[in-house]
Amino acid sequence: MAVYRLKPVENSIEVLDLSLLQFADILGDEDYVLIRSQPRTNESLSARWKHTECKLAPFYQKGQSIPDISYWGSYLVMTKQAYSVFQEPLSREGEFLPLSVSNKPMYIYIPLTFGQEDKTRTVKHFEDGYECGLEQLVFDKTDVSKKWIFKSAMYGFHALFVSEAFKELFEQSGFSGVIFDSDLAGAF
């Protein structure tokens, strides 16, 4: 089973005109502890979520095509079409926060699942005796075989990894906005 690191398209622009500070306000996170720690703790945000409206980023207000799935910080933003395709498989591994973006229904996807790394095959990178990243990242096939999207504690909490099934469904649907990198431990 192949695993890919999900990456934004090079030089892409975030779709939402919504800052993480505004996101924290919506969630009632006055001290910003929740939004800073959530990618690591996988704390659910859906109970705090309120109906939200925001605008498209200025780049997209000028008529540029809106990607179906795109990165927004540590999360994904999905159009209504992408949501309808991915809602069923991804809702087991995260949650969707609905919002209206320039009067279009969209969804922020919050991944809440970690994949277990194969620590016997994952290789840490050291410089001057200090650990600084990974040279090779391998996931435990038994653990991730039924997962569609997940994070890695060893790589860092902000990267997302996906299964072959995710990639195939994305491509079959003709979606745009992210790329799939087989170099799981790459710095870029």
- Is pLDDT larger for residue 109 or for residue 1? 109
Burial tier of 28 (Cβ tally within 10 Å: 0-12, 13-18, 19+): exposed
Report d(CA 48, CA 97) in Å as an integer: 10
Q: Is residue 153 a contact partner of residue 139, using CB atoms and an 8 Å limit?
A: no
- Is pLDDT larger for residue 180 or for residue 156? 180
Residue whose pair of structure tokens reads 């209504």 in the numeric block:
80
Mean pLDDT, all residues of the chain: 94
Across the range 40-67, mean pLDDT stands at 94
pTM of the model: 0.93
Express each pLDDT in 17-44 by its tens digit: 999 999 999 999 999 999 999 999 999 9
Across the range 3-8, mean pLDDT stands at 96
Half-sphere exposure for 176 (CA within 13 Å, toward CB): 7
Residue whose pair of structure tokens reads 């790394």 in the numeric block:
117
Q: Decide if pLDDT at 175 tops 90.
A: yes
Non-local CB neighbours of 169 within 8 Å, separated by 6+ positions: 85, 86, 89
Q: Decide if pLDDT at 78 tops 90.
A: yes
Express each pLDDT in 112-161 by its tens digit: 999 999 889 887 888 888 877 777 888 999 999 999 999 999 898 889 99
Least Cα distance to 135 among 143, 144, 126 occurs for 126
